Structure 1
């Protein structure tokens, strides 16, 4: 994962409302959740929710699909895992390097 991609994902998750939305999507599972349910549960106005979801989509953290009149949001677990792996990739490597030298 590139630094810029990880930084964008972390930036979008760094906003309290977007983090709450993403946490709710993660709880919903792979099938996702209707946008209306997220709006109702979190009490976020529709236009505000749409703005935040768009930011999460642009970071690759969320995808949407429509079933009839219902718009679903699905978390992209693979992207979330990539961000986590990126953060852990060199865990303790400086410490290990110091022990070798």
Structure 2
């Protein structure tokens, strides 16, 4: 696994999903307009502090930048409380129909 490539791919995907241009993301992170492009091209890798800013600006958990989605081991774990809430809501919908 190449963490840099995974990070770049996920950053681009998450930015696009949020509907943000590189410039708009840079503004939200309070960095220069071309810095996101430099990161996305692989010329620089962000600091931990910048990873936190990116995650906050994109409203995601920082680990998602490194999630490769290829192996079951890397799949995010859904907390038991949330699983139970989902099951309860689905059960209610099923009972309706």
Larger RCO, structure (CA 8 Å, separation 6 or more): 1
- The answer to whether the superposition gives a TM-score over 0.5 is no
Scaled by the length of structure 1, the TM-score of the pair is: 0.32
Write 1 or 2 for the structure with the bigger share of strand: 1
